[in-house]
Every structure is written in C-alpha cells, then in structure tokens.
Amino acid sequence: MTLDKVLGDSTGARNVMNLILPIIIVAVFVAQLSELVLKILNLHSLEQWYRRTGKDGDLTENRYQYQRALQHLALFSASLNGLIYLLFLALRLPAWLFDQLGQLFGQHRMWHGLAFIAVLQVARSILQLPWGLYRRFVVEERFGFNRMKPKEFVKDVLRSTMLVLVFGLPLLWGLFRLMDAPVMWWLWGFLTLAGYQILLFWLYPIFIAPLFNRFVPLSQDGKQGLLRLRLEQLLDQCNFAAKGLFIMDGSKRSRHSNAYFTGFGKIRRIVLFDTLIEDLDQEQLAAVLAHEIGHYRKKHIPKRLMQSLFWLFISFLGLYLLSGWQSLFVSFGFEMAVGQPNPALLLFVGMVLSSPPGLILQKLGNHLSRSHEFEADAYAVRVMGNSKSLTEALETLHRENLSNPAPHPGYVAQYYSHPPLPERLAALG
C-alpha cells in the first residue's frame, strides 16, 4: 500500500505532498554542504602542512601549489554546480522540460522519456565541461602534466559520444521497455543491467580501450626485453596467466602514470603506462605488478563486482517502491496520469533521492577499496621477499604525481579509494 492510499485525499495528505519537494531539497543541500565542508577541511589540512614544511625546496612548493589549485577548483566548481542543481529542482524546471518535450513527441512515450534523459545528460556534461577544460589545459598544463592537444580532447569527446549512442541508447531503450511492463519489471531491469555491466567488463580491454589509447606488447629486445623477462618470471612465480603484457601510450594525454590489469578468464591483460616505465626501475615495476596480481589473488575484483550488483539490486527495488507514490512525482511538478509513471521520470526522481544515501555508500565502498589496497600491498611484499621495491615505487609515484601530502582524514574516508602514502608505508613497515 502506498503512502497516497494511507493518507487518502485529506488536507493532511495535501500538506504532506506540499512538503515532499522542500524536504528533498533540504536533504540534497545537506549532502552537498557536507561535501563542501570536507573539501574545506582538506584544503585547510594542506595549508597547515605547507606552513610546517614550506621551506623544504621546489618539490614541496610545486606539490603545494598544484594541490592548492586542484582543491580550489574542486571547491568552486562543486559550489556553483551544486547551487545550479538546487535551483533547477526548486524551480521545478525538470517538469517544465518534460512538458516541453511532450509537445514534440506526443504519444511516443519511450522517445519522450529518452529525450528527457538525454537533455539532462547533455546539460550535466555542459556544466562539467568548463571545469574539465580548466583543469587539463590550465592547472595540469601549468605543472607540466598535460600532454593533450585540444584536437585530441575533441576526438575523445566524439568517441565517448559515439560509445554512448552505440551502447547507452539501446540499453536505456531496453530498460524503459522493461520498466513499462506490469509484472516484475524491477527484477528484469536489474538482471539486464547486471548482464550489461559484465558484458562491458569483457568488451572494454578488447574493443573500447583501444579506441582511446594504443596498446603494444612489451618488446622482447633491449631494456624492455629485460623488463619483460623479469615480469614474466614474476607471473610464473605467482602462477598468474595473462593474455599479455602491454604498454599504453598514456603519455600522449598526461605525465601521470599508472598500471592495471583488466578483463577476466582468457582475456586478462596487464597494462603498464609508458610514463610508469619511465619513472620506475625494473624491481619497482615488478613490485607494482605484484600488487596488481594481489588484487586478483585476493579476489578483489569479483568482490567489488558483487558489491556493485547488490547495490544495483537495491536501487531497482527502491525504484519499484517509488513507482506507486504518485504524490512524489506531483511534488516535482510532473502531471501524473493514472498508472505507472514514465520510466524516465522514475529514473530521474530515483537519482535525485539517491544523493544523500549515495554519500554513505561511497564512504563504505571506499573503505572496502582501501582495505583491498592494504591486502594487495601485503601480497606484493610476500612475493617480492621484502617491502623495499614497493616502498620505493610508491614514494616515486607520490613524488612524480605531486600527490596530496596531507589529506584530511574525513576527506580520505569519503573520497579516497587508495590509502594515503603515510598509511601505506606504515603498513609496509
């Protein structure tokens, strides 16, 4: 039984309906405010660190200025975009947009819903675009990290748009069709999206990643040949089978470095950024690879996948429970006919309501991720026989990437998927 049926058509019911949107806006505001407070605390922590160590040389100065620029940008962009979002809800502009699109698409329910979500997504991308451009072509450029040309940026945007059209549009259409079904649509929707996630996990290393970067096998000659022998020796030691060792041309976009393995089963592949090979020596690279293998040995990827699928299941169940609450949609300004709401409206309202609990889920997910990093570090130390190479690798990457030297604990708990360097070094001993 829905809340509407419980309250009936009484004055109390109308009063409750009038309060729904203000309560939601207050909840979203509180969630945004908590994020801003954490960003301010993180910036304050950086300022305190600089006052203690500001005379330690150019590296300290560069790290401070880089992190300060990033954090000011994050604080300003979150404040402005958050204000725009709250006004968008308070003025009931989603309902106005939905009505305007309804005049274009008439009785074509699915296309009406798809257009609504598409316009919202485009608007969101436009709001985020200036901050992304400023970060890359101003902040990252100033500190020598950016290596991307504007032409390549445009190409990336076009490739991403193409992927959305090829993969996202059919998926959304299929979900909307399922959500219009009268029976068990939430379960079928969950199963469809879960299968889609697993499919993308398989497709990514083979078809999607090569659209953005060039992957070449680690050479068997020269310095790369020696590195390949060492890493293959490590793979044998760990009894880890992979499709191959690849170098990714990450340097064409950024000087930041990384390594990862992707895929599953027979298509597992290990990827090293070319910048990582420039920054680390052979044993340090082996330690980094041992850490990545540790994630596999500890079954972190399936654990995170199961966690994601669990929250996805809860989300679809929540959408089902919301679908019968007509007053909720009316409070947003949507004109509701008898029956199930347009799937696009259900998806939009569900995403708005997910904002406050999403912070809790993000914090829990990052806590789990940080614990996985500690476990992978411990595995790497056991395989390498000591912590020296991994410690040196982490310190080098921290230095070369100008990572935050003193993040606030609250900020770490909410946003960091990896433990801060001091915590990792303390655990390594």
Residues 6+ apart with CB under 8 A from 178: 185, 188, 189, 192
d(CA 408, CA 358): 21
How many Cβ atoms are within 10 Å of 307's Cβ, its own excluded? 15
* pLDDT 10s digits, 96-155: 999 999 988 877 888 999 999 999 999 999 999 999 999 999 999 999 999 999 999 999
Q: What is the pLDDT of residue 140?
A: 95
- The whole-model pTM stands at 0.90
What pLDDT was estimated at residue 1?
Answer: 46
Tens digits of residue pLDDT in 213-259: 898 888 888 788 898 899 989 989 988 877 778 899 988 888 888 88
Give tens-digit pLDDT for 49-74. 999 886 677 778 899 999 999 999 99
**Is the Cβ–Cβ distance between 350 and 318 less than 8 Å?**
yes
Q: Is 186 helix (H, G, I), strand (E, B) or coil?
A: helix
Q: What is the model's pLDDT at position 246?
A: 87
Q: How confident is the model at residue 383 (pLDDT cuts 50, 70, 90)?
A: very high
**Catalytic annotation, residues:** 292, 377
H or E segment at 314?
helix 300-322
Nearest to 344 by CA among 181, 96, 21, 110: 110
Burial of 168 (0-12, 13-18, 19+ CB in 10 A): middle
Asked whether 352 and 89 are in contact (CB, 8 A), the reply is: yes
Least confident of 141-145, 323-327, 387-391, 420-424: 323-327
Axis crossing angle, helix 421-428 with helix 388-400, rounded to the nearest 10: 170
Backbone angles phi and psi of 280, in degrees to 5: -115, 155
